[in-house]
């Protein structure tokens, strides 16, 4: 019950345990959790329980909370060229003392669905593959179209895994500027708009109160990866 309450609070952007306490006292929150008591748990109880959480209870809470919301159409991201698209993110997170890779489907709500603990530094990617294979087996074919990961996944194996095992497109967000692919792309962008095939898009992100400029180009080859990269 506490895990489900924390997940619901996180989906609503609640960041502090005192706010979680107040949230869990509201009638709507208690009805959603099937709880008739005046409050689900105090903030001090939440702290005590989070420190003892283990993988099975967290996974059960994730699936209980997100399955129904996804069934009502949440969890799709509107992309300009595709419309509502199932997009997933896999990244590192922690729940109490539990370190894990977590799969989240993003859209109007962020729906964390499953997690896989990792034992020691250097095993995070292996945990990601175990996690994604399990989620895929649970959800079936075509469950995701874009899979986004952090800089840990800037490997040939990740892109092969996305295309060959999951049938989706892999998206990686590394911040190193010395990658050969990044240097090749920067060379094209420096010459823009002289070269064909280079897109340049500017806009304003009202939600984050910031302007952005994006360059894209397709057709980059990476030895060992069966598909061209963008």
Q: What is the pLDDT of residue 151?
A: 84
The tokens describing 109, both together, are 């709500």
Is the model more confident about 114 or about 40?
114
Q: What is the pLDDT of residue 1?
A: 75
Is pTM beyond 0.85 here? no
Q: What is the pLDDT of residue 68?
A: 62
d(CA 116, CA 42): 28
- Which of 25, 29, 64, 63 lies closest to 41 in space, CA to CA? 25
In this predicted structure, the answer to whether residue 147 has a pLDDT above a threshold of 90 is: yes
d(CA 109, CA 13): 10
The tokens describing 47, both together, are 């702290």
Mean pLDDT of 20-35: 79
- Supply the DSSP string of 171-200, one letter for each residue: EEE---S--HHHHHHHHHHHHTTSSTT-EE
pLDDT in tens, 82-135: 888 889 999 888 766 778 898 988 877 777 888 888 878 888 999 999 999 988
For the chain, the average pLDDT equals 82
Pairing of the two strands 87-95 and 98-106? antiparallel
Percent of the chain with pLDDT over 70: 91
d(CA 201, CA 179): 23
Taking CA 211 as the corner, what is the angle to CA 206 and CA 216, rounded to the nearest 5 degrees?
115
Q: What is the pLDDT of residue 74?
A: 63
Q: What is the pLDDT of residue 70?
A: 61
pLDDT in tens, 176-218: 888 888 888 888 888 766 778 888 889 999 988 999 999 899 8
Q: What is the pLDDT of residue 69?
A: 61
d(CA 1, CA 64): 10
Percent of the chain with pLDDT over 90: 17
What's the pLDDT band for 18 if we cut at 50, 70, 90?
Answer: confident
């Amino acid at each position: 019950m506490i895990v489900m309450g924390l997940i619901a609070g996180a989906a609503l952007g609640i960041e502090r345990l005192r706010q979680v306490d107040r949230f869990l006292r509201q009638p709507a929150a208690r009805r959603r959790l099937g709880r008739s008591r005046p409050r689900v748990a105090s903030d001090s109880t939440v702290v005590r329980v989070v420190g003892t959480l283990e993988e099975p209870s967290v996974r059960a809470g994730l699936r209980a909370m997100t399955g129904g919301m996804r069934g009502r159409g949440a969890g799709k991201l509107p992309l300009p060229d595709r419309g509502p698209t199932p997009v997933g993110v896999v990244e590192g997170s922690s729940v109490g003392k539990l370190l894990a890779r977590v799969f989240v489907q993003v859209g109007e709500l962020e729906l964390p669905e499953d997690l896989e603990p990792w034992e020691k530094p250097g095993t995070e990617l292996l945990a990601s593959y175990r996690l994604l294979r399990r989620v895929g087996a649970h959800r079936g074919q075509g469950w995701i179209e874009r899979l986004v990961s952090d800089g840990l996944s800037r490997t040939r194996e990740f892109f092969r895994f996305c295309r060959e095992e999951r049938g989706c497109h892999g998206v990686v967000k590394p911040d190193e500027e010395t990658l050969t692919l990044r240097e090749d792309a920067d060379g094209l962008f420096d010459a823009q708009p002289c070269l064909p095939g280079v897109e340049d898009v500017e806009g304003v992100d009202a939600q984050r109160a910031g302007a952005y400029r994006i360059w894209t180009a397709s057709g980059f080859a990476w030895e060992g990866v069966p598909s061209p990269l963008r």
